Structure 1
Amino acid sequence: MPNKLTWLSFAVPILAGMAGLGLTACKILPTPSMQGGGNAPAFNPDKMIEDIWAPKVIPYLQQKGGPFPEVHALATTDPAAAGAKYGNPNKQANSPWTFAVRLEGKIVAANTQSRAATIDVDVDGDGKADARVQIGPAVRGTALRDSLDFIQFNDFTNQIDFAQFGKAFNIYADKTALSKLPREALEGRSAKVLGAYTLGSGQDLPLVTPAEAEIGPKP
């Protein structure tokens, strides 16, 4: 039977080797502040949106967006075909389709009591709402971001940055367009919108997020 000294001399190298394997299996991932040696510019989604809004975002929506009735009719029958024509074909495979649209019609209902204010718009003249348009200041979803084929998840460091970038679109849309809209006596007025919406379950009105919006005078 080996004495204690012999056993220790045999066990210590094994324990040291096991510890080394444990350390090798662990990776230390850099935090954003560590990347680029601390010299990389800080992530600023608001500035990024401001830089691309006029030269890229608005022209893209103007070119890609189709009339809402046409887009929605195709989207409900053949989402992939609608996505190829009006949406972002480069979207993540498990994400719903998001479409660029131009919408015009008459406001038949308005909810301006909530910070997530909306107007319901009749686009075909039958007196019933066909779409719900967000008018802020709180804007839900990331439809504007998701409709753009030049914005991809893989362009971002992580999911948090990608989510913040999507939120920044809504903030900028409110600052430049939605905050200027009237809030009183909206029913009966005309509405004109350039924006995007995500295909939902079909049980609720399509929720359109504007990049540009106009509300006409009182009738």
Structure 2
Amino acid sequence: MPNRLTWLTRFTGMMLAALVGLGLSACKILPTPVAQGENNAPAFKPDKMVEDIWASKVIPYLKQKAGPFAEVHALAKTDPAAAGAKYGNPRKQANSPWTFAVRVEGKIIAANTQSRAATMDIDVDGDGKADARVQIGPAMRGTALRDSLDFVQFNDFTNQIDFAQFGKAFNAYADKAVLSKLPREALEGRAAKVIGAYTIEGGQDLPLVTPAEAEIGPKP
């Protein structure tokens, strides 16, 4: 009798294992689809968002807000809060530095176009010395354009990553729409006109301006 029970137990176990194996072989494991956004929200597209507001909001705002570079920078060095109230974004986060909208007009006295982070140094007061360094891309530092706009707020975004990507999208669009069309050869001595924004940062040789509009005159 014990041998018969042992044989039945083994047989039952083998049958169960076979049935489980058949069941698993008939099942197909499918990957879980990745949602486009929480609660079926549309995908976050910072480049498209910037493109949609560039001509209708960004450029008109900067043209209205920007002051002459020499005037803005002189006030920013002595009273950043006063300069920010007049030329900056008063709705900025409290712990963020001031970002100022400016017009830079003058002569290009030096240019670095060998790097992807190309720049041109501009003398705005005619003393032969550079007063501002203007980024002309394609690679650009910072998020000055985003941070100068009082209608763009951190709390409007899901998280810090989205906010950062939105800031980079401004630089990418400025390069695509404006800066990529500028001449790159023999820039020294030419006149330049720029509307953009900059943030005062420690350790900078010159204020670093990110343009939203830029013009370079003919060779002298």
TM-score, structure 1 as length reference: 0.83
* Residue-by-residue CA offset, 1:147-200 (whole Å, 9 max, x unaligned): 000000000000000000000000000000000000000000000000000012
Deviates more, 1:196-205 or 1:133-142: 196-205
The separation in 1 between residues aligned to 2:174 and 2:80, in whole angstroms, is: 26
The separation in 2 between residues aligned to 1:202 and 1:62, in whole angstroms, is: 28
Give the root-mean-square deviation of aligned CA atoms. 1.2
User: Which residue number corresponds to residue 212 of structure 1?
Assistant: 213
Mapped pair 1:35 → 2:41? no
The separation in 2 between residues aligned to 1:214 and 1:121, in whole angstroms, is: 13
Mapped pair 1:86 → 2:79? no
SS at 1:182's partner residue?
A: coil
User: Which residue number corresponds to residue 188 of structure 1?
Assistant: 189
Q: Write the mapping of 1:27-106 to structure 2, written as runs, cut at 5 A.
A: 33=36, 35-36=38-39, 39-106=40-107
From the superposition, tell whether residues 170 and 81 of structure 1 become closer, same or farther in structure 2 (CA, over 3 Å): same
User: Which residue number corresponds to residue 144 of structure 2?
Assistant: 143
Equivalent pairs, count: 187
Residues 195 and 212, structure 2, Cα contact 8 Å, conserved in 1: yes
User: Which residue number corresponds to residue 173 of structure 2?
Assistant: 172
SS at 2:140's partner residue?
A: coil
Give 1:32 deviation, angstroms.
Answer: 7.0
* Residue-by-residue CA offset, 1:2-21 (whole Å, 9 max, x unaligned): xxxxxxxxxxxxxxxxxxxx
Amino acid at match of 1:138: A
* Residue-by-residue CA offset, 1:51-108 (whole Å, 9 max, x unaligned): 1000000000000000000000000000000000000011111111000001100000
Please identify runs of 4+ aligned residues in structure 1 that moved more than 4 A.
Answer: 31-34
The separation in 2 between residues aligned to 1:103 and 1:45, in whole angstroms, is: 27
Residues 36 and 42, structure 2, Cα contact 8 Å, conserved in 1: no
Give 1:134 deviation, angstroms.
Answer: 0.2
Q: Write the mapping of 1:148-163 to structure 2, written as runs, cut at 5 A.
A: 148-163=149-164
Give 1:201 deviation, angstroms.
Answer: 2.2
The separation in 2 between residues aligned to 1:84 and 1:51, in whole angstroms, is: 27
Which ranges in structure 2 are unaligned for 5 or more consecutive residues? 1-33
The separation in 2 between residues aligned to 1:167 and 1:49, in whole angstroms, is: 10
SS at 1:217's partner residue?
A: coil
From the superposition, tell whether residues 204 and 160 of structure 1 become closer, same or farther in structure 2 (CA, over 3 Å): same
Give 1:135 deviation, angstroms.
Answer: 0.3
The separation in 1 between residues aligned to 2:176 and 2:38, in whole angstroms, is: 32
SS at 1:121's partner residue?
A: strand
SS at 2:111's partner residue?
A: strand
User: Which residue number corresponds to residue 125 of structure 2?
Assistant: 124
Amino acid at match of 2:207: P
User: Which residue number corresponds to residue 113 of structure 2?
Assistant: 112
Give 1:33 deviation, angstroms.
Answer: 4.4
SS at 1:82's partner residue?
A: helix
SS at 1:133's partner residue?
A: strand
Residues 132 and 207, structure 2, Cα contact 8 Å, conserved in 1: yes
The separation in 2 between residues aligned to 1:109 and 1:98, in whole angstroms, is: 24
Give 1:125 deviation, angstroms.
Answer: 0.1
